[in-house]
Amino acid sequence: MISLVLVVIISCEKNRFENTCGVDDPVEKLAWLRDQITYIEQLDTEESQYYYMRIAKYRGGTVFLPGNCNPVINSVFVVLNCSGERIGIIGNGEDMIGWDELTDMQLLWQPENSACNFQ
């Protein structure tokens, strides 16, 4: 019984991004995203520990928000569409996207040695 519960929990966690941008595993199936994550993973540990990727809904579509939680860097948050194209940046200006316009934001990826705390 415990094994069955664990299988269900693990499979639900793995499939929580199912049908994102038309694929069942965006980290593996979206080439631009996989390439970006591979690049980050190849950085030295001191630098790579601060990167992450979030996913959210914006105007009915899925968007990606690459981020950096390094406390000594003033980051600009870009918003990418399913093709990896920049559709805007987070901010309060006329051509910017507000945090309040993003819904269902979730952590999609972070390195194993992540220094970021999302709680």
pLDDT band at 8 (very low <50, low <70, confident <90, very high): very low
CA–CA gap between residue 37 and residue 54 (Å, rounded): 12
CA–CA gap between residue 44 and residue 86 (Å, rounded): 26
Longest dimension (CA), the chain: 55
Residues 96-106 have a mean pLDDT of 93
Question: pLDDT (tens digit, 9 = 90+) per residue, 44-94?
Answer: 888 899 999 999 999 999 999 999 999 998 888 999 999 999 999 997 777
CA–CA gap between residue 75 and residue 55 (Å, rounded): 17
What's the pTM value of the predicted model, to 2 decimals?
0.82
CA–CA gap between residue 109 and residue 119 (Å, rounded): 15
3-class secondary-structure state, position 36: helix
Average pLDDT over all residues of the chain? 85
Q: What are the sequence ranges of the domains in the chain?
A: 17-109
3-class secondary-structure state, position 106: strand
